[in-house]
Structure 1
Amino acid sequence: MLADTAGGELSSVRLLDLVRRGAFRLHAEGVRRGGFVAVDTTSLTWREVAIGYLSVVWLGAAAVLTAGEVSERSARELADVSVLVRGAGRRSAGPAWLCVEELIAAGGHFGAPLAEPDDLLDIVFTSGTTGSPKPVASRHTQWTGLVRPEILASQVRRVVAHTGIPVGVSGGLHGVLLHHLARGVTSRCAPTAAALAASCRDHPADELHLTPHAASGVARVVAPREPWARRVVIIRVVGGPVPEAVAQALAERFTRARVVSVYALTEGGAALCVKVVGGGHRDSVGRPVAGTEVRVLDADGRELPAGEVGELAVRASGTAPLAYFRDESMNRDWFPGGWARSGDLGFVDPGGEVRLVGRVKELIFLRGGRLPPEYVEEILFRRIPEEVEFAVAGVPTAGGWDRIAVFLRGSDSSPEIGEAKRRLADMTGPFRPQIVRVVPEIPRAPFGKPLRRVLTQDLVTSVDQVTRRPTADSP
């Protein structure tokens, strides 16, 4: 069953009925196997996206998931989109426009699904954390390997509540929607951490699926020893590492739950690394799950031995690699030999754990070495009042080491912001920030990761951007 706080519930029987209605209407609009239909995820609820998406792929057409005007325009330029499924309040020029109500209006039910294993399933845009979102194409066969074991193993009826994971990216579409449907769970979506807690008080959940940012929000709004929290046995966090302070707060509130962190890429398809938070090394993203392979590459694409730092690359064994849609040049660079490059620096330790150094484009270069901004954020979590949202980034300087910049969300007149600024000013040592800025909002990618390049763009001059980084031997 699918449920969300915006519009009630859908049983699996009802969902199948609506999907066949939707496929019938799309077929009447001229959609055929091999065609393209855009689904606007920003104007639809999770339930409506499920209906629209499954109606498209039932016909063997590819669903192009868009998240606003930029990706919608890109979708039209990339593919011959014949129909656009949007919310009832939005209309636009271009292809035929249908809202979900029109899609499922009485008219008929389409017969058996037309899709074949090698047909294009969908096109999903990357989150754009460190650059422009890129379209990644998947085929049916690339995801059946992920969901088939879930279908065969699904014997226990569970309720899974989730928030913060957008349906318009792979982690939401493939990792939550298709995964939950395959497991046969009751999947409850909430728009915020507060709404999730309120929903779970009335409808207790067995599992929570969150982003790190949503996990932090849940830890703030759930009080210790709430009755419903004792039922939760798994908290699955996707989209980034779980800060130590957040993990501790979750452990205090959900005393029976294991917190599991999942490392995955849109480009990596079903390839996953999984870690039980609280065990192993803090910089570990866990071990590859069955069917996932991990390599560490040097700058020339050669595999490095265990223990050496390089760029992580992953692939799901037994399936064809994913690819950027209609971009052979990018595919040659980013999918060498069927492996998906991650843009993350890391290494594999002797115990088989994958250890993350940080994203290549986000590392902060300090005299003592290079550090991911999340490491500095963990230190500052203990300094900054818990009600203040913040992000850390490195700002390059001409011919020198990076400056640590902290961005506080709020107003300069706020007592909490004033206290945060005072505590940061009183810090000593290498992690004392040189720049503290108050901003009305912290821009975030779909999974809640701060868009650090956006925060720092007015702090970085053109000279800084082309300055060569200092080496370990630089004065």
Structure 2
Amino acid sequence: MNTDAQELQSPPSPSTVKDILDLADPSHIAIIATDGPVLTYGDLKRQVDSLADKLNSIGIGQEDRVAIILPNGVEHIVSFLAVIAAGATAAPLNPAFTKEEFRFCLEDAGARVLISSIEKIEALEAILPESMIAIVTGLDDDGQVSFTSSASETGPRMVQPSSTDDVALVLHTSGTTSRPKRVPLSHRNLVVSAQNIVETYELTAKDVSLCVMPLFHIHGLVASTLATLISGGVVVVPAKFNALDFWPAVEAHHVTWYSAVPTMHQALLHRAKRNAGSEAIAIAKRNLRFIRSCSAPFPPETLIDMEETFAVPVLEAYGMTEAAHQVASNPLGSGKRVPGSVGIGTGVSIAIMDQDGNIEPAGVTGEVVIKGENITLGYEDNPDANRNSFTDGWFRTGDQGVLDSEGYLRLVGRLKEIIIRSGEKISPQEIDETLLAHPAVAGAVAFGVPSSTHGEVPRAAVVLRAPVKAAELVAYCRAHLAAFKCPKVIHIVDEIPRSATGKVQRRVVSAAFA
């Protein structure tokens, strides 16, 4: 797609997610599926409005939750925007979840509707409640997104326009407990975060993003997709990340930027450097304005190597689900970039707090705390988590960091025991409980260990009550947990270290096996 001949102008700023398409120029290209249709903003709005009307006609609107289980593609984007346009709340889920994980998330979110493929709906039929409305989606022969509902239409439902405080999106994020916490994000949260991204990277209608992050993840939804749509630009959507197909897509669609986790960047860098004189390097230089990295720590030496190889700025950022994604970023253009730092606050106030709730001066390490209009007002139905996560209006991230005198944030560790594998948060307690359900396991503790590929990967140590091979326990985890959560290595030990109060000393075990 070549935009040089077009006079492209960014649309006005929206107040709600629905406003994004209402304010866009209908003639501009919005979505390009690498293996599917090309949609203008007008096409996208028509398809979104059609599904929104269908949802309203079967009685879905305000305060209803609609689960979405789809791979990346036009169908996912249309479904997500249509649920919100209908006045309801979108609840996208990871298609790689097990049935047990789907059951929990669907029940916990209170989903009334499930939008998915016929294959996935049939596979989940046994766990879906009878009251669940299933909507099958796919592409028809004309490349249009089609929707078939299991519910009868009851006529138009009067839907009040969404306000900025209405919940548009709910996501589950792993916490220090075994079950994920439910994070509600309002229209204001999403729009403010997306606009912060637009301003940080100076996005315009001439920009083209390549969305390689999954659309069930806040990173893919807000950074790659909503921010691009707010700017009036183009989102190119492959079905999944593939290092072999990546650069041909950049060249074919004149991609100007992409955002990904370090694992993906490293795969692209490795392939480019392995093939001397790689066309990838020339493609990057011809097309990309910048590369963004977020959702997991990026080794400074790799970041510098990437900048030197592709000759474009590589900007490390800091984000989380509770902040509707972006919190901080290294700046573009004349601003200083600091390898090893996640940059400065982007429309977000950042401070360092001690354990007693006092704000620390620059140069002192403590817990990273944040304030801003993009931050959730609190977890749903979880007063304990809210009590522990908010202090004097500051959200406590659980990350340890230090601010320098110029406001650049460097992350140095985590107070919470979450494992982050390629940007995906994993609760070690969830792995513990899965292993403890095995009849041969008397004790279990999961922990993270450093990985040059994924940043961090889960492992576990177990005490046995009956003989069993570690490989059998790995297979047991795979049967009950999504693949990215499963430890590939399980150590069989005589005992698990505990504190005087009986608490498992997870970090002691991690240090022993790291």
Q: Which residue in 2 is equivalent to 1:193? A: 243
Letter in 1 for 2:284: A
User: Shift of the alpha carbon at 1:123?
Assistant: 0.3
- The alignment partner of 2:80 has SS state of helix
% same residue: 24
Q: Distance in 2 between matches of 1:98 and 1:79?
A: 17
Q: Unpaired runs of 5+ in structure 2?
A: 1-29, 139-144, 420-447, 462-473, 499-503, 509-514
Q: Distance in 2 between matches of 1:458 and 1:196?
A: 37
Q: Which residue in 1 is equivalent to 2:402? A: 347
Note closer, same or farther for the CA distance 1:467–1:137 as it changes in structure 2 (3 Å cut). Answer: closer
Q: Which residue in 1 is equivalent to 2:188? A: 141
Q: Aligned to 2:40, which of 4, 8, 11?
A: 11
User: Shift of the alpha carbon at 1:143?
Assistant: 2.3
Q: Distance in 2 between matches of 1:461 and 1:2?
A: 56
Q: Which residue in 2 is equivalent to 1:183? A: 231
- The alignment partner of 2:323 has SS state of coil
2:460–2:489 contact (8 Å) kept in structure 1: no
Q: Which residue in 2 is equivalent to 1:57? A: 84
1:20–1:110 contact (8 Å) kept in structure 2: no
Q: Which residue in 2 is equivalent to 1:410? A: none
Q: Does 1:272 align with 2:327?
A: yes
Q: Which residue in 1 is equivalent to 2:487? A: 454
Letter in 2 for 1:199: A
User: Shift of the alpha carbon at 1:250?
Assistant: 2.1
Letter in 2 for 1:137: P
- The alignment partner of 1:264 has SS state of strand
Would you say how many aligned residue pairs link Structure 1 and Structure 2? 398
Q: Which residue in 1 is equivalent to 2:56? A: 27
Q: Distance in 1 between matches of 2:167 and 2:418?
A: 36
Q: Distance in 2 between matches of 1:27 and 1:363?
A: 39
Q: Does 1:287 align with 2:317?
A: no
User: Shift of the alpha carbon at 1:457?
Assistant: 5.2
Q: Distance in 2 between matches of 1:395 and 1:201?
A: 39
- The alignment partner of 1:272 has SS state of strand
Letter in 2 for 1:205: V
- The alignment partner of 1:341 has SS state of strand
1:158–1:186 contact (8 Å) kept in structure 2: yes
1:321–1:339 contact (8 Å) kept in structure 2: no
- The alignment partner of 1:23 has SS state of helix
- The alignment partner of 1:356 has SS state of strand
User: Shift of the alpha carbon at 1:103?
Assistant: 5.3
Note closer, same or farther for the CA distance 1:312–1:396 as it changes in structure 2 (3 Å cut). Answer: farther
Note closer, same or farther for the CA distance 1:310–1:205 as it changes in structure 2 (3 Å cut). Answer: same
Note closer, same or farther for the CA distance 1:271–1:221 as it changes in structure 2 (3 Å cut). Answer: closer
Q: Aligned to 1:82, which of 93, 109, 112?
A: 112
Q: Distance in 2 between matches of 1:356 and 1:54?
A: 34
Letter in 1 for 2:258: L
Q: Distance in 2 between matches of 1:137 and 1:464?
A: 37
1:237–1:261 contact (8 Å) kept in structure 2: yes
Q: Does 1:215 align with 2:265?
A: yes
Report matched runs for 1:24-423 at 5 Å: 24-40=53-69, 43-67=70-94, 68=97, 69-91=99-121, 92=125, 93-94=128-129, 95-101=132-138, 104=147, 114-126=161-173, 132-148=179-195, 155-163=204-212, 165-190=213-238, 191=240, 192-222=242-272, 223=275, 224=277, 226=279, 227-230=282-285, 231-255=287-311, 257-269=312-324, 271-275=326-330, 282-289=339-346, 291-316=347-372, 318=373, 321-361=376-416, 389=453
Note closer, same or farther for the CA distance 1:335–1:46 as it changes in structure 2 (3 Å cut). Answer: farther
1:23–1:109 contact (8 Å) kept in structure 2: no
Letter in 2 for 1:302: N
Note closer, same or farther for the CA distance 1:261–1:460 as it changes in structure 2 (3 Å cut). Answer: farther
Q: Distance in 1 between matches of 2:307 and 2:388?
A: 42
Note closer, same or farther for the CA distance 1:246–1:279 as it changes in structure 2 (3 Å cut). Answer: farther
Q: Highest relative contact order (Cα 8 Å, sep 6+), 1 or 2?
A: 2
Q: TM-score, normalised by structure 2?
A: 0.67
Range with greater deviation from structure 2 (180-189 or 196-205): 196-205
User: Shift of the alpha carbon at 1:127?
Assistant: 5.7
User: Shift of the alpha carbon at 1:99?
Assistant: 1.5
Cα displacement string for residues 363-421 of structure 1 (whole angstroms, at most 9, x for unaligned residues): 99xxxxxxxx99x76xxx6xxxxxxx576679999xxxxxxxxxxxxxxxxxxxxxxxx
Cα displacement string for residues 257-291 of structure 1 (whole angstroms, at most 9, x for unaligned residues): 110111011112365111269966544221112x2
User: Shift of the alpha carbon at 1:204?
Assistant: 3.1
Q: Unpaired runs of 5+ in structure 1?
A: 365-372, 382-388, 398-438, 471-475
The RMSD of aligned alpha carbons is 3.9
Q: TM-score, normalised by structure 1?
A: 0.72
Note closer, same or farther for the CA distance 1:468–1:6 as it changes in structure 2 (3 Å cut). Answer: closer
Q: Distance in 2 between matches of 1:395 and 1:324?
A: 28
1:37–1:64 contact (8 Å) kept in structure 2: yes
Note closer, same or farther for the CA distance 1:127–1:259 as it changes in structure 2 (3 Å cut). Answer: farther
- The alignment partner of 1:464 has SS state of coil
Note closer, same or farther for the CA distance 1:31–1:462 as it changes in structure 2 (3 Å cut). Answer: farther
Q: Distance in 1 between matches of 2:299 and 2:317?
A: 14
Note closer, same or farther for the CA distance 1:273–1:352 as it changes in structure 2 (3 Å cut). Answer: same
User: Shift of the alpha carbon at 1:215?
Assistant: 0.4
Note closer, same or farther for the CA distance 1:391–1:54 as it changes in structure 2 (3 Å cut). Answer: closer
